């Protein structure tokens, strides 16, 4: 089973990816946070920096584009191909209200006919591998049938399915019957995404879908970076690994960001999730939330690495 790292916006950029790969590895593909292009397909400097090959050496990265305009997709895809990327991913899964309000991400799922026209234009021109990361509708799982009729028409390299609607965000139980329907209908490789937080979650999925070849995880990894290693039957995460991971991220952010405020903002975002792997999570969560200086933040994290314990 191949393990993919989900594209978590604002968190899993190249600094995080490089630190994770160095400390833990065991990821077969990383997906970039979405590249939101303008109508001319121009990438923001921040997005371009994130996917530059020199910032992702040793990492198998798949860039992800967020758009509902075929022309903009094609322009951006060509730029990414020139960088050496063979696979591009289209974001049809982001449930953010600001994204959906523009008809992008999972908001594009509201109009299957326009989505069909989009793919028809894209596949007429684009010659690389195209995968999609999708939800199963906006309001109801009943919308999935119409979307599958679109997806089955095109030669995607992979379809990554998060079996929730846009309205459900990350709540409620995934609609596994929707994933099962896709497995019956689609003739391309499928990847499952959603609610894999433990080895038991993974094993249950593997037992139910013995032919499944790929699983994507996001929140499960950022809360427990050792999860992919555990899934692959390797040693549990050590505090030394966690410290190495943390120190590389901090050093890189101090190098590329301007000012303590920006560094602390990014590190607090990392620890918003990472804190959950500690037995003493509640104690240190409060301390990290209140800290205002990098030197004090370093003192707290050093205390964590010396005295805290990892959850079993």
Query: What pLDDT does 285 receive?
Result: 95
Neighbouring residues of 79: CB distance < 8 A, sequence distance ≥ 6: 41, 43
pTM score > 0.85 for this model?
yes
Query: What pLDDT does 284 receive?
Result: 96
Coil, helix or strand at residue 161: strand
Tell me how long the chain is. Answer: 312
- Cβ atoms within 10 Å, residue 98: 10
CB 308 within 8 A of CB 276: no
How much of the chain exceeds pLDDT 90, in percent? Answer: 95
CB 123 within 8 A of CB 154: yes
Tokens found for residue 97: 């209200």
Low-confidence ranges of the chain (pLDDT < 70): none
Torsion of CA 190, 191, 193, 197, to 10 degrees: 140
Neighbouring residues of 157: CB distance < 8 A, sequence distance ≥ 6: 87, 129, 130, 131, 188, 189
CA atoms within 13 A on the CB side of 39: 1
Query: What pLDDT does 282 receive?
Result: 93
Query: What pLDDT does 255 receive?
Result: 96
Query: What pLDDT does 38 receive?
Result: 77
What is the homologous superfamily of the domain 2-231 according to CATH?
Aldolase class I (3.20.20.70)
- C-alpha 158/C-alpha 182 separation (Å) is 12
Query: What pLDDT does 42 receive?
Result: 81
> What pLDDT digit, counting tens, does each position of 262-278 carry?
999 999 999 999 999 99
Mean pLDDT, the chain, integer: 96
Neighbouring residues of 86: CB distance < 8 A, sequence distance ≥ 6: 128, 129
CB 34 within 8 A of CB 94: yes
Phi, psi of 215, rounded to the nearest 5 degrees? -130, 135
> What pLDDT digit, counting tens, does each position of 118-129 carry?
999 999 999 999
- C-alpha 269/C-alpha 301 separation (Å) is 14
């Amino acid at each position: 089973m191949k393990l993919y790292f989900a594209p978590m916006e604002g968190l899993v950029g190249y600094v995080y990816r490089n630190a994770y790969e160095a400390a833990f590895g065991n990821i077969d593909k990383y997906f970039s946070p979405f590249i939101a292009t303008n109508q001319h397909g121009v990438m923001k400097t921040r997005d371009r920096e994130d996917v530059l090959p020199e910032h992702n050496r040793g990492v198998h990265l798949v860039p992800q584009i967020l758009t509902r305009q075929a022309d903009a997709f094609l322009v951006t895809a060509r730029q990414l191909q020139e960088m050496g990327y063979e696979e591009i991913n289209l974001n049809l899964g982001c449930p953010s209200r600001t994204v959906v309000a523009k008809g992008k991400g999972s908001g594009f799922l509201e109009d299957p006919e326009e989505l069909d026209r989009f793919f028809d234009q894209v596949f007429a021109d684009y010659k690389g591998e195209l995968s999609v990361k999708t939800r199963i509708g906006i309001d109801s799982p009943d919308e999935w049938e119409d979307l599958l009729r679109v997806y089955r028409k095109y030669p995607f390299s992979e379809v990554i399915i998060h079996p929730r609607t846009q309205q459900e965000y990350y709540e409620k139980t995934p609609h596994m019957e929707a994933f099962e329907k896709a497995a019956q209908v689609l003739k391309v490789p499928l990847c499952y995404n959603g609610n894999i937080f433990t080895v038991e979650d993974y094993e249950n999925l593997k037992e139910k879908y013995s032919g499944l070849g790929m699983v994507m995880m996001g929140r499960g990894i950022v809360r427990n970076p050792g999860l992919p290693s555990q899934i692959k039957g390797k040693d549990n995460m050590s505090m030394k690994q966690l410290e190495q991971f943390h120190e590389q991220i901090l050093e890189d952010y101090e190098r590329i960001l301007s000012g303590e405020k920006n560094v602390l903002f990014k590190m607090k975002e990392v620890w918003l999730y990472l804190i959950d792997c500690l037995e003493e999570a509640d104690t240190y969560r409060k301390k990290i939330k209140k800290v205002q200086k990098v030197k004090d933040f370093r003192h707290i994290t050093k205390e964590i690495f010396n005295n805290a314990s990892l959850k079993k």
